[in-house]
Amino acid sequence: MSDGWGGDVVRGSIYDFPKYYDVLFGSDWRAEFHFLRACFERFAALPRGRAVRSVFEPACGTGRLLIRFAKAGYSVGGIDLNEAAVAYCNARLQRHGFPASVRVGDMTRFRSPRQWDAAFNPINSFRHLLGEEAAAGHLRCMADCVRPGGLYVIGLHLIPTQGERIQDEAWSARRGQLVVNSYMWSKGIDPHRRIERLGMTVDVYRPTGRMRIEDEMEYFTYTAEQFRTLLARVPQWEPVATYDFAYDIDTPVRVDERTEDVVFVLRRRGE
């Protein structure tokens, strides 16, 4: 299909286009990667003071962070609902000499064949769990697959109950001759279901032509209080620190009614 902008228009999910997803978000790995490593060093309390050596990412997508951890010597694993993203992630791991350690799976309910030292779930993927039951179930599955003393680091946007909230975001990235620009905006929140609908357009410029992906997705919403209530339901996790998307390990933040972007550092309690 083509419209006034002069290129093809596809209505679909950006997650079905892992190459374009990875160009768009893959360049943005450094701050998160270094922050996560700093969290592991500062907050993990594994037996005998052992350092974090293995990491697991639920909803890992293309594995833009997992590949960095693999290259840094960690053993890595992940799951994602999207087959195309999993294939892309495993192909890149294998290309760099690592096992294809990511599989298709639903983070709502899953079992990991092994335990991990730490896990992370950045940039709102947690909000794909559409409801508190799904989120609590997920946190329990994560508690089963992270060792006591290990960490689970979750990054998401809360809905502030005071002050303005950010309603849209734009990203732009280039890899070689491929340029990807995107714009994401809130289409509103259903307060009863606690569902936010988001629109997203992704414009892809290739030497052979251009293409627009028109996406729409739903995110579950949390105020700061609602997130605290959720965490209290799964006592296997002890909240140990909170940060924002500046990812500065020396600058923790206090979560209050105005907080939007937040990173919760949770530690797995012992049995």
Ligand X SMILES: C[S@@+](CC[C@H](N)C(=O)[O-])C[C@H]1O[C@@H](n2cnc3c(N)ncnc32)[C@H](O)[C@@H]1O
Residues within the interface to ligand X (CB under 6 A): 15, 25, 57, 59-61, 64-65, 79-82, 85, 106-108, 122-123, 125, 128
Closest separation between CB of residue 143 and ligand X, Å? 17
Tokens 């606690």 sit on residue: 194
Task: Choose among 37, 73, 76: nearest CA to 56.
Answer: 76
- Residue 154 or residue 231: which is nearer to ligand X going by CB? 154
- Of the pair 129, 231, the CB lying nearest ligand X is at 129
Min CB(122)–ligand X separation in Å: 5
Which CB sits closer to ligand X, 52 or 119? 119
Contact (Cβ atoms closer than 8 angstroms) between residue 243 and residue 262: yes
Q: Which two tokens stand for residue 49?
A: 């003071």
* Nearest by Cα to 121 from 98, 138, 140: 138
Contact, 114 vs 53, CB < 8 A?
no
Whose tokens are 């335990």? That residue is 115
CB of 23 to ligand X, least distance (A): 12
Q: Which residues partner with 216 through β-bridges?
A: 199
Q: How far is the CB of 82 from ligand X (least distance, A)?
A: 4
Nearer to ligand X, 46 or 57 (CB): 57
Give residue number: closest CB to ligand X: 61
> Buried b / exposed e across 204-243, counting CB within 10 Å, b at 16+?
beeeeeebbbebebebbbbebebbeebbeebebbeebbeb
- Cβ nearer to ligand X, comparing 46 with 65: 65
Region of 6 please: left (phi>0), alpha (psi -120 to 50) or beta: left
Q: What is the smallest separation between the CB atom of 123 and ligand X, expressed in angstroms?
A: 5
| Smallest distance, ligand X to C-beta of residue 65, A | 6
Which one, 46 or 158, has the nearer CB to ligand X?
Answer: 158
Nearer to ligand X, 149 or 222 (CB): 222
Shortest Cβ 48–ligand X spacing (Å): 30
